[in-house]
Structure 1
Amino acid sequence: MPSPTPPRVRLALSVAAALASGQLHAKEFQLDNPDLNIRWDNTVRYNLGVRAEGREHALANNATYDESDSKFKRGDVVTNRVDLMSEFELAYKQYQGFRVSGAGWYDQAYADTDVETNTGNVYYSGVGAGASTSSYDNGHYSGFTRRYHRGLSGELLDAFAFTRFDVGDVPVSLRAGRHTVYWGNGLLIAGHAISYSQAPLDGRKAVSNPGTETREIFLPLTQLSAQAQVTDRLSLAAQYFLEWDNTRAPEGGTYLASADVALEGPDRLPVYTGVTRPIGDPLRPHNRGNWGVMGTYSLDFLHSDIGLYYREYDDYNPWGLQVGADSARYVYARNTQLYGLSWSVGPMLGGGSLGADLSYRKNAALVSSNISTVDDQGARGDTVHLVVNGLWLLPQTKFFDTGNFIAELAYSHLQRVTKHAELFKGEGYAGCPAGQDKAWGCATRNYVGVAFSFAPQWLGVFPGWNISAPMSLDYGLSGNAANGGGNEGKYSYKVGIKGTFDERYEVTLAYIGYGSQRKYDDVPGIGKTVVGGNGDIGLSDRNWLSLTLSTAF
C-alpha cells in the first residue's frame, strides 16, 4: 500500500533492490479495467543444511542441552526443507484493496520424530545422574514441534485491507487485518530498538540466518494502523492490536534450540533422573491492549528526520519458566511503557545514512531466576536503550562493483529495579546465586553489543549471473543486558557466497556459526561437563553449512 516513506527507509529499500533476487518478480494480470491491478508472487525455497562441527561431549553431558545436541552428529543433514511463500494483492486505483500471503513447508530431516538424549548425562543440581529423561512425552516430538519443524504444514501470514483518502488536505492511509508495522531506525539488534516487541519475531529464521534485518523477521498480527501526512514535514501514525502471539524459537530437541525445554514444543520439564514436571499452557496476555502512537518531522538540518514515540505493550518474549511444586509454564510480562526518540540522516554524500534510537522502558521485564507463584510476576525495572547505526550503498571499487554495509551498536542501562528484586538475576541480587557473576549469565547494569552486515556484489560475472558475498557478525562486547537482549562474549556469524541468475534464480552457500562462554567442571561418574556459562550456551557447538536454492514464479 503506497504511503509516505521517510528518506532513510527509501535508502534501505534501494539497498535491498540493488541486491534483490527473484522475489522482486511478480505475476501481474492484465485486466480490462485499468484501475484494477492484481499481483501474485510465489517463491519456492529449498534449504539443505549439514552439521559441520562435532558434538562437544561436555555440553551433551548437561541435560539442559543434550537433546538438541544429540539429534545430529557431524556430517548429518540437519535440515532438508522446502518452503513455499505465496503473496496476492488486489488494488483499485493503487490506494484501495487487500493483500493476503501464506507459507507452507516440509523438512525431511525431521521425518524421524524420536527425541535423542545423551545417556549418562547429569542434571547439574547435585541430584541424580544416569539415564536421561526426555522433555517430550514418550520420547517423541509433540504435535507442535512436528508441525513447525517437519510439516507438511502451513500458515496464513498477511491478510489485510488497505485504503487511502484525504481529510481536507491531509492524506490518510489505513490498514485493517494481519500485518506488521515497524517504527524507528533499528536494523540488526532487535532487543534494544524502538521497535522492540512491536511484533513477535520469527526466532527460527533469525537463528538460522544471522544478519537478517529485524523487519524481515517480524510476524504479522491482527491490528488497525493509520498514517497521516499532516504537512510536507510532519507525519503522524498509530496502531492498535486485536491479537497477541509469542515470539517463536527453535523448539527443544531440534538442532538450533538453545535449550531442551524451549519454547512451546516440549511437554515436560526434567527435574532429575526419572522425575519430570508437566509444562502447562503459558500464561499469555490478552489479545487486545497493545497500542502506540508516533510522529516524525523532517528538518532542513542535514536533511534529517526526528521522531517521537509512545507505546504500551505486553511482551512477546517470555520471562522464562515459572516452576511450581508440580508443574511449569512460560509467563509473559504485561503493561510495559516505552518512550522513544529517533533521529536519522540520509541519504548523504557517499551513499549512506545514519540513524539513532533512544528509548526508555518503564515497568519492563528483567531477567529473572524464577517467576513468583504468588502474583505470576518476575523482576521488573526501568531501562534505557540506545541504538546507533549506519547503512551504506557501496560505490564501485577495484574489489567489487557495488554492495551494502550496515554497522550497528547497541547500549542498554538498568536504571532501577522496581519489583521482585529478589528474583532479578543480576550481579549483587539474590537471583544471581552466590559466587556467580556475569560469566555465569547474571545481568549487569550496562551492556554494549555490535552487529555488522557486509555484502559486496559483482555484476555480470558470467552471462546472466550476479555474484555477492553476504557476511555478518553479531557480538556482545561488554556486560549482560538486564532485559536479556545480549551477553558478553556471545556471537553469531555467517560467511557466504550467493549467485543470482536472470534476477530470478538464487543459489547461496553459507557457513554459519555460534559461540558463548561456558563453565566446566568434572562431575563424579560423568566426567567433564558444561555446568553453566553466559549466552546461548546450547548453540556453542552447532556450526553448520547451508545450501539454499530459490526461485520466483
Structure 2
Amino acid sequence: MANNWHVRALAMAIASAATVSGGAWAMPFETGNPDLEVRFDNTIKYNLMSRVESQDKDVTNSANPNLFDDADLGFDKGIVSNRFDLLSELEVVWKQNFGFRVSAASWHDQAYGDSNDHPGLNKDFRINGNYTDTWGLLSAPPGEYNDFADNQAHKDVELMDAFVFANFSVGGSEASVRAGRHTLYWGQSLFASGATNGIAGAMAPIDQARGLGVPGSEAKELFLPTNKLSGSFQVNQNLSLVGYYSFEWEPVRYSAPGTYFALSEISMDHAEFLTLVPGQVDPATGALVAPRTGYVQDSSEEPDDGEWGAGLQYVFTNGLELGVYYLNYHDKAPQGVIGALNVGQYATAQATTNPTAALLVALWPAYSGGVPPDQFGYYTGGGYPAVGIGRFKWTYREDNELFGISLGKEIAGVSVGMDLAYRNDVAIDFNSGTLLHTETYPDFGALQATVAATLAAAGFPTDNFDFDGADGDNYAGATGDVWTLVVNGVGFLDPGALWDGGSYAVEMTFAALTAYGDNEQLASKYIDENDIATTIGLSFAPQWYQVMPSLDLKLPFTLSYGINGHSPLRGGGDADLGIASIGLSFEYQQVWTIDTKYNMFFGEQENGSLGNLIDRDNVALTIKRTF
C-alpha cells in the first residue's frame, strides 16, 4: 500500500523503547547463492521490577474483594519480577518471493520460582470481626501457583510465528499468501485501547498480560499469532483485495491467577474457584471458623475455528488510504458467565443452621454430602478447606459481525488515521455485581424456586438457564449493537534547542452501545445506552543523539486514560482509570538497550477491573542485547 502506513510504523518504533522483535537486527548468513537469503536473529532481555506501593484498602476491602485480592495480597513491596527472555527468529527467503518464518520465545522469572507473600487470609476484609479466606485456587495453597500460572509467569517456551509465504503474479497483478501461525491486523489503531475499540482487536487475541506489564506497548506488540490462511491481491496500482480464514481460536491472554498483574481470580479459562462467601478465620487463634463457599470452574465453552474476514484497500491519488472490511469473528475475551448451583451441596453447607436444608440432606442423600467423595481432594486442595456448592463456566459469543472503515493520510507532516466500526449484536461487558446467570439442579420444584429467590435476594439471579447447553451459539450474557470510532496521529519531533529529534503519538477512542439485545440485566451497571465512552492514549519520546560516544538517549512518556463512560466492549476503557509510564532509555552502539521506568496505575477502584491495580505502581529496569 502507500507510504503513510510505513511512516506510521517508523514513527511508532521511534516513539517507544525497542521491543523484543522490533529491536532485533537481522543476522544474514552467507549462503553462496544470491537467490537464497537466510537470517537468524536472537534477542535476549533481562527485566527487574519492584513494587513501590503498599496494598491499598480500596482494593483489599472493596466490594467483592474475594474475586480479585489474591494478586494484591501476594506481593509486598519489593521484587515482583526477575526475568530473562529469549526470542529467536529464523527466516528463509528464495528469490525474494517464497520462504518461511519461524520464531519462538522462552522465559524464566525467578520471582515466580517459589511461593509469594500471600498470608493465607485477608485482614482488611472482615466478616463478624473475623479475617476472611478469599483464596481463589483449589490446586495450590495460598501463596503458590497453579500449573497455568507457573507456565505463564515462571518458565516456558512458546512457538510464535510458523508460516510459509509466497509472492507471485496472476494475470499481470501481484498477489501474496501466508499459511500458518502469524499475526494479521487491519485498520489504523496504535495502542491497546485503540485495538480493542477498532478493527484489529476483533481479528487476533491480545496479550493483556504484556500490555499491563509494559505500559505504552503498541497494539502490534500485543497481538498473538494463530493458525490462519491470509492473502492479498493487487488489482491495480490503487486497489487491493485482502482476506483471511482462521483455523485456530485463542482467547485474550490475561495475567494468570495470583500473579502480580492479575485483574481477577475468575475471569479466565484457567481460574479454579469463584468464592461466593469468604471463609472466616479467628484473628486471635488463626483457626478456621467457616470455610469459603463457592463454585468450581467447569471447562469453558471455547469457540470452534471458522473466523474469517474480507476487505478492500484503495489509495487515492492525493494519498488518502481507504480500507473497507467485513469480519465474522468470535469473542476473544470471556464475558458470558453462567453458574449451576448443586442444591444438595448447597443444602449441606447450610444444614447446621437451617432445618429445611438439614431435612433435604436427610431425604435426598444422593445429592448431599457437600463435596462429592471422589472429588474431595480437589475441592479441599487450596489450603483452607473450600466447600463447592456448584460450578461455573465462561462462554464466548461466536459469529459476531463487524463492518469497518479505516482512513489514513499524511496531513502537515502528521500521519493521521481513523477506524469506524459497527458491531452487530455482540457481547457486552458483564456486571460483576450480578455475575451469575444461574441454573439450579437437580430439579426440586418448589424448593428450587426457594433457593433461586434466596440467591436473587443476595444479588445472584437464577432462571434455570441450561448450564450444559450454554456455549458460543447459546450465549449466556448480555448482547447489543455497538459503534466505535478510533482517531489518531503520529508525528516526528523537529530538531531544536530542547531535543535532537523524537516522535509523538496521540489516539482517542469513542464507543457507544446503541441498543441492547439479550440479557440486558447482566450487562455492567456502568454502561448506559447511547452514552459515549471516551479514552485517550499518547506517547511522547524526545531523543538526544551521541550524549556520549555511541550512546543515544530517549525520555519516553506514555499515558492511557479513560476520560468518561464505560466501554461496552470488555477492555475498551473505563472512566477515570489510567496507566502512565515515564523513564529513560539508553541505546549503546545501536545494539544494547537499557530502560528504566516508573509505571503507575491510578483512578477509582470501583470504576472497572483496571481499578484493581491502582496500588500496583512499580519501577522497572530492562536490559536488551541483540545478536
Does the TM-score normalized on the shorter chain lie above 0.5?
yes
SS for the counterpart of 1:216 is helix
Q: Secondary structure at the match of 1:283?
A: coil
Please point out which of 99, 105, 108 is paired with 1:106. 108
Aligned in 2, Cα 1:475/1:58: closer, same or farther, shift over 3 Å?
closer
1:69 matched to 2:72: yes
User: How far did residue 231 of structure 1 move?
Assistant: 0.7
| Paired AA for residue 356 in structure 1 | M
Answer whether contact 1:516 1:535 (CA < 8 A) is retained. no
| Residue equivalent to 2:462 | none
Output the amino acid matched with 1:147.
Answer: N
> 1:315 aligns to what?
331
| RMSD, matched Cα | 2.1
8 Å CA contact 1:251, 1:261 repeated in 2: no
- 1:293, distance to aligned residue in structure 2 (A): 0.6
User: How far off is 1:268 after superposition?
Assistant: 1.4
Corresponding letter in the other structure for 1:249: Y
Corresponding residue for 1:7? 3
The 3-state SS of whatever aligns with 1:293 is strand
Alpha carbons of structure 1 residues 193 and 533: separation in structure 2 relative to 1, 3 Å? closer
Q: Work out whether 1:545 is the aligned partner of 2:547.
A: no
Once the two structures are superposed, what CA deviation does each residue of 1:148-177 show, in whole Å capped at 9, x if it has no partner? 1111x1110000000011111111000000
- Shift in Å, 1:182: 1.2
Q: Shift of residue 130 of structure 1?
A: 3.0
Contact 2:274 2:295 in 1 (8 A): yes
| Greater CA drift, 334-343 or 413-422 | 413-422
Find out whether 1:207 has 2:194 as its counterpart.
no
Aligned residues: 516
Matched, 1:366 2:369: no
Provide the C-alpha distance between the structure 1 equivalents of 2:116 and 2:395, rounded to a whole number of angstroms. Answer: 28
User: For 2:517, what is the secondary structure of its paired residue?
Assistant: strand
Letter in 2 for 1:297: Y
CA deviations on 1:21-63 (whole Å, 9 max, x unpaired) are: 5824121101111100000010000000000111113422333
Distance in 2 (CA, whole Å) between partners of 1:263 and 1:223 is 24
Residue 410 of structure 1 and its aligned partner are, at CA, apart by: 0.5
Maintained 8 Å contact 2:336/2:475: no
Report the equivalent of 2:42. Answer: 42
SS at 2:71 equivalent: helix
Q: CA deviation at 1:249?
A: 1.1
Correspondence 1:329 to 2:393: yes
Deviation at 1:510, TM superposition (A): 0.2
**Residue 87 of structure 2 is aligned to residue 85 of structure 1:** yes
Corresponding residue number in structure 2 for 1:186: 189
Query: Does 2:519 align with 1:416?
Result: no
Separation (CA, whole Å) in 2 of partners of 1:114 and 1:264: 22
Q: Which amino acid in structure 2 is aligned with residue 146 of structure 1?
A: D
Structure 1, 290-299 or 315-324: larger mean CA deviation: 315-324
Partner secondary structure for residue 200 of structure 2: coil
* Aligned equivalent of 1:536, options 599, 605, 610: 610
Contact 1:444–1:480 (8 Å) recurs in 2: no
CA drift at 1:145: 0.6
1:85 & 1:444 partners in 2: Cα distance? 45
Question: 2: CA distance between counterparts of 1:332 and 1:170?
Answer: 40
Deviation readout 1:308-351 (Å, 9 max, x if unpaired): 110000011111532321111222111110001111112x433x
Distance, in Å, in 2 between the alignment partners of 1:317 and 1:266 is 14
Aligned to 2:445: none
Closer, same or farther in 2 for the Cα pair 1:121/1:335, shift >3 Å?
A: farther
Amino acid across the alignment from 1:218: F
Distance in 1 separating the partners of 2:519 and 2:240: 40
**What is the aligned counterpart of 2:491 among 376, 392, 400?**
392
Residue among 583, 591, 612 paired with 1:504: 591
Match of 2:244 among 227, 239, 245: 239
The 1:55–1:118 alpha-carbon spacing in structure 2 relative to 1, beyond 3 Å, is: farther
Is 1:259 aligned to 2:264, yes or no?
yes
Distance 2:251 2:117 in 1: 24
Cα offset, 1:180, TM superposition: 0.7
TM-score (norm 1): 0.89
CA deviation vs aligned residue, 1:349-377 (integer Å, no higher than 9, x gap): 33x21111111000211022346443442
CA drift at 1:507: 0.3
Distance in 1 of aligned mates of 2:396 and 2:324 = 27
Q: 1:16-31 residue pairs with structure 2 within 5 A? A: 16=12, 18=14, 21=18, 23-31=23-31
Q: What is the alpha-carbon distance in structure 1 between the residues aligned to residue 544 and residue 215 of structure 2? A: 22
C-alpha contact 2:514 2:530 (8 A) present in aligned 1:
no
CA–CA distance in 2 between the matches of 1:396 and 1:546?
Answer: 29
CA pair 115-221 structure 1, distance change in 2 beyond 3 A: farther
1:451-490 equivalences in 2 (<5 Å):
451-484=537-570, 485-490=572-577
The amino acid of 1:111's aligned partner reads: G
State whether residues 336 and 478 of structure 2, in contact with CA within 8 Å, keep that contact through their aligned partners in structure 1: no
Larger radius of gyration: 2
Q: What's the offset of the Cα at 1:91?
A: 0.3
The range that moved more, 498-507 or 206-215, is 206-215
Please report how far the alpha carbon of residue 445 of structure 1 lies from its aligned counterpart in structure 2 after TM superposition: 2.7
Cα distance change, pair 365–509 in 1 and its aligned pair in 2 (3 A): same
Q: Deviations over 1:451-508 (max 9, x none)?
A: 1111111111110011101110011111111123111001001101000001000000
Say whether 1:278 aligns with 2:293.
no
* Alignment partners' CA distance in 2, 1:394 and 1:113: 46
Which digits, 9 at most, give the CA deviation of each residue in 1:103-141, with x for residues without a partner?
A: 0000001111357256245779x8995341421124131
Distance 1:56 1:155 in 2: 35
Structure 1 unaligned regions, length at least 5: 426-431, 433-437, 519-531
Alignment-derived partner of residue 222 in structure 1: 227
Name 1:135's counterpart in structure 2. 136
Tell whether the 8 Å contact from 1:55 to 1:541 is kept in structure 2 after alignment: yes
Contact 2:324 2:406 in 1 (8 A): yes
The amino acid of 2:82's aligned partner reads N
- Once the two structures are TM-superposed, the CA of residue 13 in structure 1 deviates from its matched residue by 2.8
Amino acid at match of 1:543: D
Q: Which residue of 2 aligns with 1:291?
A: 308
Give how far 1:444 is off.
7.0
Alignment partners' CA distance in 2, 1:120 and 1:79: 23
Query: Percent of pairs identical after alignment?
Result: 31
Could you state the TM-score of these two structures normalised by the residue count of structure 2? 0.79
The amino acid of 1:340's aligned partner reads G
Equivalent residues of 1:116, 1:253 under 8 A apart: no
Between stretches 406-415 and 369-378, larger displacement belongs to 369-378
CA distance change for structure 1 residues 77 and 444 in 2, over 3 Å: closer, same or farther? farther
Q: Give the AA of the match of 2:393.
A: R
Q: Is the Cα contact below 8 Å between 2:267 and 2:334 reproduced in 1?
A: no
Give the aligned partner of residue 526 of structure 1. none
Cα separation, 2, equivalents of 1:257 and 1:489: 20
Alpha-carbon shift at residue 12 of structure 1 (Å): 2.1
1:18 deviates by 4.7
Match status 1:406 vs 2:411: no
Deviates more, 1:268-277 or 1:233-242: 268-277
The residue that corresponds to 1:529 in the other structure is none
Distance 1:78 1:446 in 2: 37
With over 3 angstroms needed to count, the CA separation of the structure-2 counterparts of 1:90 and 1:120, relative to structure 1, is closer
Contact 1:391–1:407 (Cα < 8 Å) also in 2: yes
* Cα distance change, pair 154–324 in 1 and its aligned pair in 2 (3 A): same
Q: Is the CA contact 1:67–1:118 (under 8 Å) kept in the aligned structure 2?
A: no
Q: Which amino acid aligns with 1:172?
A: A
Moved more, 194-203 or 265-274: 265-274
In 1, are the aligned partners of 2:513 and 2:529 still within 8 Å (CA)? Answer: no
Gaps of 5+ in 2: 280-290, 342-389, 438-464, 467-473
Q: Which amino acid aligns with 1:245?
A: E
Q: 1:387 & 1:447 partners in 2: Cα distance?
A: 12
